A and B are shown apart, each in its own frame.
Chain A
Amino acid sequence: MSNSSLWSDALRKLLKNRAAMFGVFILVSLIILAILAPVISPYTYDYQNLELGASAPSSAHLLGTDTLGRDLLSRLLYGSRVSLMVGFVATAVALVIGVTWGIVSGYYGGKVDAVMMRIVDILYGLPFIIFIILLMVVFGRNIWLLFGAIGAVEWLTMARIIRGQVLSIKNQEYVLSAKAMGVSNFYMFRRHIFPNVLGPIAVYATLTIPQVMLLEAFLSFLGLGIQPPMSSWGTLIRYGVESMEEYWWLLVFPGITFTMTLFSLNFFGDGLRDALDPKTSSD
């Protein structure tokens, strides 16, 4: 299969890209830590020690505690579950909508395409951040609604990219000959269209995850996202900013974790794009 050689080529290129591999290393470690959070975190996320209050990093609390005496390391670990989950779930929602929309629009073309793409154009012009805030205000600060709302916003770019890919694929000879042989539309999608758009899907999915996480953190920072006692990196940064003058560690550690994650995802996404782009294969 010609497919496997594209992917193994890409893998070889990706393994050589040091920035991308650094990103992968950080991400995999974070995901493992997030999954293991209930096992490895020294305290639970809502454990309080009011007598202790805010304390600087020490052997009992490696990253210190906040004003309520909550262990920052534990809250950061539990928070990574929320933040990473937002990233993956919302991106998955965006993927499903965007890929379906793009494939259908690009494959059928004509009037269907014109109408579907006009809808995307119109949605592009809307102030979505404001709409998400509106949804959170109207329907309460529900974590699943947050996932869905963010995903429903981020699919537009995906739809455009996939449509472009499908347009370029659908007039190639192997697709035309499959059509001439009378294969069903479903078979066509599964066998010919979908495998050939997997590359761009993978690239834009990895680049969408950091945007989604940023959006969640932004909302949580404003106090409109994840609610206490649960924590996400966004809420931790919010508390960190409130008390940064006296308790620097409350801002610095969540800030570093969050920025590192964004960096890693962007490096990995860029690396994946370069690896899958046939134009860069010469060097």
Chain B
Amino acid sequence: MIGIILRRILIAIPVLIIVASITFFLTRLAPGGPFDAEKKLPQEVIDNLNEVYNLNAPLYEQFFDYFSNILVGDFGPSFRYPGRTVTEMISTGLPVTFELAFYAILFALFIGLLSGTIAALKRNTFLDYFPMAVAMLGICVPTFLLGPFLVLIFGINFELLPVSGWDTLPGDKVLPSITLGAAYAAYIARLGRGGMIEILGQDFIRTARAKGLTERQVVINHALQGGILPVVSFLGPAIAGLLAGSFVVETIFQIPGLGKFYVEAAFNRDYTMILGTTIFFSAMIIFFNLVSDILVLILNPRARDS
């Protein structure tokens, strides 16, 4: 098993390097310099700026400079916000995005596993059909519709919850977390139901029941570990989707997280910011995929041998 994990890690490193290089050269390929403002700047100013931002050096030299700086955590300055560095923006935005993602996943796991397990236990009853119909709805309605919809109902019509901001008003974290987590709750419910149904039909469950365990013990001690396997292997790829979701949710709810910064940077063509965050996001996604693969290996004895 250690061998498999090591091999996964060894694959992840070149992938990350390739992603970072492609991103670097793509942003350098982009038409128009970073200082193309509305007003034409004097040539000397442009020359000076190029000097300061090291844009006169040969491309390969810029490339190596950039990557040696990244290794010590320096993503360079932002092109659009003079005086701010990309590292600074990542470090202020990241904790917010992480917190949002954490609540969203927590919400998704709680609702998803609960309704998935109940649906599997009460198969073909109302407690199965109803949550699964809601789950279908949750998968089909995209985040950028669900968010505004929740805002209209709970924020504007009933004035129950704040509709924007983060950590400024009590309860302002509720709507964003639910918006971001809803689709995952739906997926987890479906995956959890499928996994549980498969496990509940197996011999060791019958043995456990034959031993006279209560239904609760059977489910919690025996079925759940295997039943949530599909959910665990889904969590890695889900992180990537969660990130995309955070772009939308942070934009809708005006949350000062990394996702909002990224969308703004893409909108403003802040190339260094895009470059830095893309590399950072890629590293995160690759890392979480790795973690979920390893978790599956630990939870599933059969995957270990192959």
Roughly how many angstroms separate A263 CA and B133 CA in the complex, as a whole number? 12
Q: List 21 A-B contacts (CB under 8 A).
A: A125-B289, A126-B285, A127-B240, A129-B240, A129-B243, A133-B262, A133-B266, A134-B23, A210-B140, A218-B248, A221-B144, A221-B248, A222-B266, A223-B263, A224-B267, A245-B156, A255-B145, A258-B145, A259-B140, A262-B140, A262-B142
Contacts of B15 on A, CB cut-off 8 Å?
Answer: 122, 125-126
A1 near B: Cβ within 8 Å?
A: no
The 8 nearest A-B residue pairs measured at CB: A138-B30, A129-B244, A221-B144, A241-B148, A127-B285, A262-B140, A137-B266, A255-B145
Roughly how many angstroms separate A217 CA and B156 CA in the complex, as a whole number? 25
Roughly how many angstroms separate A224 CA and B267 CA in the complex, as a whole number? 7
Roughly how many angstroms separate A127 CA and B282 CA in the complex, as a whole number? 6
From A122, A140, A223, A244, give the contact of B152 (CB < 8 A): A244
Contacts of B145 on A, CB cut-off 8 Å?
Answer: 237, 255, 258-259
Chain B, Cβ-Cβ closest to A266: B140
Pairwise interchain contact B142-A222, C-beta atoms closer than 8 A: no
Pairwise interchain contact B244-A218, C-beta atoms closer than 8 A: yes
From B27, B136, B243, give the contact of A134 (CB < 8 A): B27
Pairwise interchain contact B252-A263, C-beta atoms closer than 8 A: no
Shortest Cβ gap from B100 to chain A (Å): 17
Roughly how many angstroms separate A129 CA and B237 CA in the complex, as a whole number? 12
From B139, B269, B285, give the contact of A137 (CB < 8 A): B269
Pairwise interchain contact A137-B286, C-beta atoms closer than 8 A: no
In the complex where A138-B29, A217-B142, A218-B244 touch, is A223 in contact with B23 (Cβ < 8 A)? no
Tell me the B residues contacting A by CB distance below 8 Å: 11-12, 15, 19, 23, 26-27, 29-31, 136, 139-142, 144-145, 148-149, 151-152, 156, 237, 240, 243-244, 247-248, 251-252, 262-263, 266-267, 269, 274, 278, 281-282, 285-286, 289
Contacts of B144 on A, CB cut-off 8 Å?
Answer: 217-218, 221, 237-238, 241
A130 near B: Cβ within 8 Å?
A: yes
Contacts of B140 on A, CB cut-off 8 Å?
Answer: 210, 259, 262-263, 266
Contacts of A241 on B, CB cut-off 8 Å?
Answer: 144, 148, 252
In the complex where A217-B142, A222-B251, A266-B140 touch, is A130 in contact with B148 (Cβ < 8 A)? no
In the complex where A126-B282, A224-B266 touch, is A134 in contact with B142 (Cβ < 8 A)? no
Pairwise interchain contact B148-A218, C-beta atoms closer than 8 A: no
Given A130-B243, A223-B263, A255-B145, 19 additional A-B pairs, CB 8 A: A122-B15, A125-B12, A126-B282, A126-B286, A129-B243, A130-B278, A130-B281, A133-B262, A137-B269, A138-B29, A218-B248, A223-B267, A224-B266, A244-B148, A245-B156, A255-B149, A258-B142, A258-B145, A263-B140
